[in-house]
Amino acid sequence: MTAPLHHAGFFGFDVFGTVVDWRSGVARAARPFLQRYGIGVDPFAFADQWRALYQPAMEQVRTGARPWVRLDVLQRENLELLLARHGADVATLAEDELADLNRAWERLDPWPDAVAGLTRIRRRFPIGTVSNSHVAGMVQLARFGGLAWDAILGAEMAHDYKPQPQVYLKSADVAGVPPHRFVLVAAHNGDLRAARACGLRTVFVPRPLEHGPGQDTDLEAEDDWDLVAGDFLELADLLGCP
């Protein structure tokens, strides 16, 4: 184990993109909905477009332009906006089907290495989320994907969204460890930069298919993070986890 992580007290994981494949899961859920209502858009393009509304919606909260709301509220607003852009009369769509599609973010498959890697890391360190998602959504996602977290940390307890410092610092505080003993594992260099600025340790694990086969961002480490691993199984090896 590298020296900076030898005395780590907690490993926190970004979830969407780092632990789970959001794009495939959202496209899978969207496909029958789009077909049923005759909305002519490719399900993967729909997933990408929905995700593209994610950061602008959170920015409204981060800047104080609107009060704190949970991510499921933002996602539902974004879903209705996107459907309207594709010509759907949202008022005529079945509420139960809209609500179910919005819960697609709670039914996302882990990357192939994720469950086994997390299981090994958890044998040696406490692990949890550091996600922009709400707690209930993370609970359902964990149950769906078999993710055995010790704690669900992140945006809801801080009433703000990454990369705001309080999300990282509040997560470390609730985990009961100082920032320098809290490790963020993420597939996004920007997330790691923000965490490092708060004094957290950092691990980069690339997910080159997060945004599909044409992805051109976050393909490699862009800074000297404390550790870089090809996937969670390699990370477990590097950490000496049985």
Question: What DSSP letter does each residue of 139-190 carry, written as one string?
Answer: HHHHHHHT---SEEEEHHHHTS-TTSHHHHHHHHHHHTS-GGGEEEEES-HH
Domain with 87, as residue range(s), is 22-106
* In a shared domain, residues 125 and 208: yes
To the nearest 10 degrees (0 to 180), the angle between helices 22-36 and 43-52 is 120
Q: Which of 55, 82, 106 is the last residue of a domain?
A: 106
- CA–CA separation, 39 vs 91, rounded Å? 15
* In a shared domain, residues 85 and 196: no
Amino acid letter, 3? A
Q: What is the pLDDT of residue 7?
A: 84
* In a shared domain, residues 232 and 120: yes
Number of domains in the chain: 2
Q: Which of 86, 106, 126 is the last residue of a domain?
A: 106
Please state the length of the chain: 242
* In a shared domain, residues 228 and 139: yes
User: And the tokens for 75?
Assistant: 């996602």
User: And the tokens for 14?
Assistant: 């970004």
Neighbours of 136 (CB within 10 A): 13
* In a shared domain, residues 136 and 222: yes
Any idea what DSSP says for residue 147? -
In 3-state terms, what secondary structure has residue 211?
coil
User: And the tokens for 11?
Assistant: 């490993």
Q: What are the pLDDT tens digits along the chain (242 aa)?
A: 455 687 899 999 999 999 999 999 999 999 999 999 999 999 999 999 999 999 999 999 999 999 999 999 999 999 999 999 999 999 999 999 999 999 999 999 999 999 999 999 999 999 999 999 999 999 999 999 999 999 999 999 999 999 999 999 999 999 999 999 999 999 999 999 999 999 999 999 999 999 999 999 999 999 999 999 999 999 999 999 99
* In a shared domain, residues 142 and 217: yes
The pTM of this model reads: 0.97
Strands (E), the chain: 10-13, 127-131, 151-154, 182-186, 201-204, 227-228
Q: What is the DSSP string of 42-80?
A: -HHHHHHHHHHTHHHHHHHHHTTSS----HHHHHHHHHH
